[in-house]
Amino acid sequence: MGPLIGILLVVAAVGGGYLGMGGNMSILWQPYEFVIVAGASAGIFVLAHPLPVVKDTLQAIGELFAGKREKEKDFLELLGLLYTLLRAVKSKGMLQLERHIEHPEESEFFQQYPTVLRKKRAVRFICDYLRLLSLGTAKPFEIEALMDEEIRILSKEFHGPTRALKMAAEGLPALGIVAAVLGVIKAMGAINEPPEVLGQLIGGALLGTFLGVFLSYGVVDPIASLIRVNRESSISYFVSIKSTILAHLNGAAPQVAVEYGRKVIHSQTQPSFAAVEEATILDTELGKAARASVKAA
What is the pTM assigned to this prediction? 0.81
pLDDT in tens, 53-95: 999 999 999 989 888 888 889 999 999 999 988 888 888 777 7
- Cα–Cα distances in angstroms (integers) from residue 177 to residues 138, 172, 173, in the given order: 58, 9, 6
Q: Where are the domains of the chain?
A: 31-297
Amino acid at 47: L
pLDDT in tens, 241-264: 999 999 998 889 988 999 999 999
Alpha helices in the chain (DSSP H): 2-20, 31-48, 51-66, 72-92, 98-102, 108-111, 114-117, 120-135, 140-158, 160-188, 195-215, 221-249, 254-263, 273-280, 285-296
Size of the chain in residues: 297
Biggest alpha carbon–alpha carbon distance for the chain: 90
266 and 236 in contact (C-beta within 8 Å)? Answer: yes
**CA separation for the pair 57, 55 (Å, rounded):** 5
Other CB atoms within a 10 A radius of the CB of residue 114 amount to 10
pLDDT in tens, 171-201: 999 999 998 888 888 888 877 777 777 777 8
